[in-house]
Amino acid sequence: MRLILGSGSPRRRELLAQIGVVADDIRPPDIDETPRKQELPRPYCARMAREKAMAVVADAGDIVLSADTTVALGRRIMGKPATAAEAAEFLLAMSGRRHKVITAVAVRRGERLWERDVVTSVRMKRLSDQELNAYLATGDWQGKAGGYGIQGPAGALIPWIEGSFTAVVGLPLYETASLLQAAGYPVFGGWTA
């Protein structure tokens, strides 16, 4: 039995390593991540994780783990900004407000699929122009849903969360371990007392 990580995210690999899980192979799926018309953030995120898991080529006995993280401001999906200007737009929209970070996880073995999603509330401090520009200059916004990563410099902009920190980073560890165990992967098999 091999574990295939259907994600190119280095953060997801690091999070899995925290619980002693190392993927046997990494196969980022190439799918269209465009939200459907009127699609809400939580169903969108769950659909993305599911479609990623299904798009990864794997043998019948292999376990495929995929995930998607979506930042939502109300009904608006804040994707990965293409430019610093778009990142600034996202960050200013969230400045001084609460938003939701949804991370959906899908685990597939053969035709079986196990899924969970985790919703975490996050508050971003009111950003000054200096803070916004300094953060944008780090480049840390690139490739991150909503234009920030809580595990990097933007952590200094987040005074409060309610929910799962690891889900905001990109992979809720408790739920992921539970799904992997359900699929027959020995998550805690390598641990010693």
* Alpha carbon separation from 117 to 24, 48, 128 (Å, rounded): 24, 11, 33
> Which residue in the list 25, 68, 117, 129 is annotated as catalytic?
68
Contact 180, 189 (CB under 8 A): no
The torsion angles phi and psi of 138, rounded to 5 degrees, stand at -70, -25
> In this structure, are strands 76-78 and 112-123 parallel, antiparallel, or unpaired?
unpaired
Position 1 scores a pLDDT of: 83
* Alpha helical stretches, state H, the chain: 10-18, 41-55, 84-94, 129-138, 165-169, 173-182
On whether residue 190 sits in a domain, the answer given is no
Instruction: Count other C-beta atoms under 10 Å from residue 106's C-beta.
Output: 25
Question: What tens digit of pLDDT does each residue of 93-142 get?
Answer: 999 999 999 999 999 999 999 999 999 999 999 999 999 999 999 999 99
In the numeric block, the tokens 């975490």 are attached to 120
Is the pLDDT assigned to residue 155 strictly greater than 60? Answer: yes
On whether residue 191 sits in a domain, the answer given is no
| pTM more than 0.75 | yes
Q: Is 68 labeled as catalytic in the residue annotation?
A: yes
Give me the chain's average pLDDT, please: 95
CATH number at residue 49: 3.90.950.10
On whether residue 72 sits in a domain, the answer given is yes
On whether residue 52 sits in a domain, the answer given is yes
Position 124 scores a pLDDT of: 98
Domain count, the chain: 1
Is the pLDDT assigned to residue 145 strictly greater than 90? Answer: yes
On whether residue 146 sits in a domain, the answer given is yes
Full domain range(s) for residue 8: 3-183
